[in-house]
Amino acid sequence: MRSLRAGRFTYVVLALFTAGSLFPLVWTAIAASRSNTRLAQTPPPFWFGGNLGHNLRVAWTDANMGTALLNTVIVAGTVAAGTVFFSTLAGFAFAKLRFRGSRGLLALVVGTMLIPPQLSVVPLYMLIAKLSWTDRLQAVILPTLVGAFGVFFMRQYLVHALPMELVEAARTDGASSLRVLWHVVFPAARPAMAVLGMLTFVMAWNDFFWPIVALTQNGSPTVQVALTGLGRGYIPDQSVIMAGALLGTLPLLLVFLVFGRQIVGGIMQGAVKG
Amino acid sequence: MTDETAVLSPSTVGPERPAAEGGGRGRPGQVWRSRRYRWDLRFSPYAFVAPFFLFFAAFGLFPLLYTGWAALHQVELTDPDSMTWVGLRNFTRLWDDEFFWNALRNTVTIGLLSTVPQLAIALGLAHLLNYRLRGSAFFRVAVLTPYATSVAAATLVFVLLFGRDYGMVNWALSAVGFDAVDWQNGPFASQLAVSTIVIWRWTGYNALIYLAAMQAVPGELYESAALDGASRFQQFLHVTVPSLRPTIFFTCVVSTIGATQLFGEPLLFNGGAGATGGSDHQFQTLGLYLYEQGWVNLHLGRASAIAWAMFLILLLIAGAARLLRGRKDGSR
């Protein structure tokens, strides 16, 4: 790795990138604090107005936002916990245990990443319709509870982070696999588990296609489903729509504010091949 | 595999027992223990990977295959239990369906418009982030924030920014003397706008992946290039890019898969007017067309046929990528 000092040009370009990345978010807040009439004027507003509280209240009641936020926390939390747990199990097996067919199975795991979820959406819908799960949260939780990405991510981490001697030492002491898992693997995997949990939480929070199919706006929507139903009048109130978008995004932005560095580290870690 | 996990369960349920039993007692106990230990060693790996494969079988593989079966039937959303065999009719219809070809064309165009600039910009951005920077952590988090924004929230704000009459983009264009663009109805303009949303959300993410790969490039390569008198840009072109080839390939594959399933952006860019992808279907993608057929027009069988067509296209792309990579490896 090299570390050349950055010139002034680099800072200018990076500042522009930062502005471009943040501007739509900031402008969402600006538009959410204005009125619909003001948004239908030129030039567009560049600073905050006084309408934020009102718009947030309308969005909250119109779009079922309270239920939606609670549902999304439940869904994203469960999916993140499940993914982290099952992925650590499988990642450990693929990284450190020798068993017949492990190479082939790992290739299969990676291969499943190439299959877009839309390919299975019709039978999945028929399935949950049969189980009367439409508009139930388990319909969006169960299909995403373990993913290939998580398994691969944990495997890549554990290959380097877990010394084989530790596993073998525990084995010589007569520890069973579950003991090894609990006392050796989980402690070693903790940093990666935290990162995977956050990444999965973000992905599950923002999941769109399947929730749109499986849930309805007036039943038990997630935030993303609720957002699609906002401001659907004859003249949609854009400032209310923006207030809803803001409500649905703020929780994740808070997560980013606190754990941003860890998430960045996790994405970069997952990228390097082991 | 399931049989083996069943054998395993008695030995893994009580992990505290081997330690509790302590020193050697009678022979039978030891035999039992060592046998249990062997079973544990042999089968627990399968138990650990089993959850993934069980879930994949139930919610991935089975639905994928069943989609193929449903594609050969007439099934309506209103009554998904009654399936009428129609053979290949859903597919022949698709072949004659101008909207299908339109959606396929749009998917390819939007895919190229979003993927190519996105990865090129990400590469340049990663290069800049790789310098020794003050506040590098801030810049990294900042360029990643769009990734935390959902498709829905992002698209809703971009609809406003790209508004024809009062949008920020057209206001800026007119400020520098250009005519206003109809970002919603112009065929190319609308596809460009939809692509912009994708680019905005994913460039920072890809830049971080490139950055990680760049940091793994050995410094000696740069030193010797610098000794040969290569400028910074030449070093980027002749050292960085070749070293990153596997990563670039990886991101191309991932972005292509993402592009084939593009759905939320074109759905919501229509401003609540349904799944048509614009008044003239000008930005309707395959994913959106599948949704329209299945959940607006209620034809689940035809939606399945579209899904299998998408699967076929992906296989073709994967084959082409393999060929391409094989040739490159061979020429080296």
pTM of the model: 0.86
In this prediction, residue A100 carries a pLDDT of: 86
Residues A55 and A71 in one domain: no
Distance of CA A256 to the CA centre of its chain: 11
* A243 in any annotated domain: yes
What pLDDT is recorded for position A233? 62
Nearest CA in chain B to A29: B157
**Residue B117 reports pLDDT greater than 90:** yes
Strand partners, B73: B85
pLDDT in tens, B17-32: 444 444 445 566 777 7
Q: Which residues of B135-149 are buried (b: 16+ CB within 10 A; e: fewer)?
A: ebeebbbbbbbbbbb
Cα(A215)–Cα(A133) distance, rounded to whole angstroms? 9
Q: What is the pLDDT of residues B245-291, one digit of tens each?
A: 888 988 888 888 888 889 999 999 987 778 888 888 899 999 999 99
A119-142: average pLDDT: 88
| A244: containing domain | 1-62+230-251
Which of helix, strand or coil describes residue B283?
A: coil
Domain co-membership, A125 together with A152: yes
Cis peptide before B187 (omega within 30 of 0): no
By CB atoms closer than 10 A (0-12, 13-18, 19+), residue B94 is: buried
Residues A110 and A166 occupy one common structural domain: yes
Residue A42: what residue type? T
Q: Do A176 and B15 touch (CB under 8 A)?
A: yes
- A131 and A210 part of one domain: yes
More confident: A234 or A96: A96
pLDDT at B26: 55
Same domain? A142 vs A25: no
What pLDDT does A234 receive? 63
Residues of A in contact with B161 (CB under 8 A): 24, 27
Distance CA A226, CA A64 (A): 7
Q: A236 is written with which tokens?
A: 């949609």
Q: Name the nearest CA neighbour of A247 among B199, B160, B145, B150.
A: B150
Residue A260 lies in a domain: no
The verdict on residue A269 lying in a domain is: no
Cα–Cα dist B104/B110, whole Å: 10
Question: In chain A, whose CA is at the least distance from the CA of B294?
Answer: A122
- Partner residues linked to B190 by β-bridges: none
Alpha-carbon distance of A97 to A130, in angstroms, equals 40
* Residue from B195, B199, B172, B169 nearest B182 by CA: B169
Check which CATH number belongs to the domain holding A160 and give it: 1.10.3720.10
Q: Kindly state the DSSP code that residue A183 receives in the 8-state scheme.
A: I
Query: Are B246 and A273 a contacting pair, CB within 8 Å?
Result: yes
Shortest Cα–Cα distance, B331 to chain A (Å) = 23
Strands of B50-103 (E only): list them: 73-76, 79-85
Mean pLDDT of B120-135: 91
Instruction: Establish if A26 belongs to a structural domain.
Output: yes
Q: Which residue pairs, CB below 8 angstroms and at least 24 apart, start in B41-46? A: B41/A177, B42/A99, B43/B4, B43/B5, B43/B7, B43/B8, B44/A93, B44/A97, B44/A176, B44/A177, B44/A178, B44/B8, B44/B12, B45/A93, B45/A97, B45/A98, B45/A99, B45/A102, B46/A93, B46/A99, B46/B1, B46/B4, B46/B5, B46/B8
Q: Is A28 on the interface with B (CB under 8 A)?
A: yes
Instruction: State whether residue B319 sits within 8 Å of chain A by CB.
Output: no
Give yes or no: residues A90 and A175 share one domain.
Answer: yes
Whether A85 and A150 map to the same domain: the answer is yes
pLDDT category of residue B241 using cuts at 50, 70 and 90: confident
Average pLDDT over residues B156-161: 92
A261-269 mean pLDDT: 86
CA pair distance B259, B261, nearest whole angstrom = 5
A175 and A109 in a common domain: yes
Option in B60, B146, B219 nearest A115 (CB): B60
Which of A14-18, B15-19, B134-138 has the highest average model confidence (pLDDT)?
A14-18
Nearest to B43 by CA among B5, B85, B89: B5
Give the model confidence (pLDDT) of B66-105 as tens digits. 888 888 888 888 777 788 888 888 888 889 889 999 999 9
Residues contacting B80, CB < 8 A, separation 6+? A125, A126, A129, A130, B300
pLDDT score for A90: 92
Helix intervals (H) in A40-147: 52-62, 65-96, 102-112, 121-130, 138-141
Q: Which of A87, A114, A119 sits opposite B67 (nearest CB)?
A: A119
Contact B51, A90 (CB under 8 A): yes
Closest CA to B214 of B242, B256, B234: B242
Q: What does the pLDDT average to over B169-184? A: 88
B307 at the A interface (CB within 8 A)? yes
Which residue's structure tokens are 């609540």?
A: B272
| pLDDT tens-digit map of A37-65 | 888 887 888 898 888 888 888 888 887 88
pLDDT score of B308 more than 80: yes
User: Of chain B residues 125-144, which have a CB less than 8 A from chain A?
Assistant: 125, 128-134, 137, 139-144
Per-residue pLDDT, averaged over A178-192, amounts to 88
Residue of A nearest to B150 (CA): A206
Question: What is the C-alpha to C-alpha distance for residues B300 and B70, in angstroms, rounded to an integer?
Answer: 8
CA B264 – CA B267 distance, rounded (Å):
5
Average pLDDT over residues A215-241: 82
Q: Which of A176, A228, A259 to mutate to test the interface with B (most CBs of B within 10 A)?
A: A176
- The answer to whether residue A241 is domain-embedded is yes
Question: Is residue A272 a part of any domain in this protein?
Answer: no
Whether residue A72 is contained in a domain is answered as: yes
Question: Is A205 in contact with A251 (CB distance < 8 Å)?
Answer: yes
Q: Using the 8-state DSSP alphabet, how is residue A143 labeled? A: G
Q: Average pLDDT, stretch A58-79?
A: 90
- Domains in chain B, start-ordered, CATH in brackets? 2-70 (no CATH), 91-331 (1.10.3720.10)
Within this chain, do residues A4 and A73 fall inside the same structural domain, yes or no? no
How many domains, in total, are found in chain A? 2
Q: Please state, in angstroms and as integers, the Cα–Cα distance from residue A77 to each residue in A84, B32, B275, following that order.
A: 11, 41, 30
* A12 contacts chain B (CB < 8 A): no
Instruction: State residue B6's pLDDT score.
Output: 36
Same domain, A13 and A38: yes
**Is the same domain home to A167 and A78?**
yes
**Residue % of chain A over a pLDDT of 90:** 27
A40 & A90 share domain = no
Instruction: Let me know if residue A267 belongs to a domain.
Output: no
Cβ separation A232–B304 shorter than 8 A: no
Say if B57 is an interface residue toward chain A (CB within 8 Å). no
pLDDT digits (tens, 9 = 90+) for B212-236: 999 888 888 888 888 888 887 888 8
Choice between A242 and B31, residue whose per-residue pLDDT is larger: A242
Q: What is the pLDDT of residue A205?
A: 92
Instruction: From B270, B255, B269, select the one nearest B113 (Cα to Cα).
Output: B255
Of A29-43, A186-200, B281-295, B315-329, which gets the smallest average pLDDT? B315-329
Dig out the tokens for A102 from the structure. Answer: 């492990």
**A8 CB within 8 Å of a chain B CB:** no
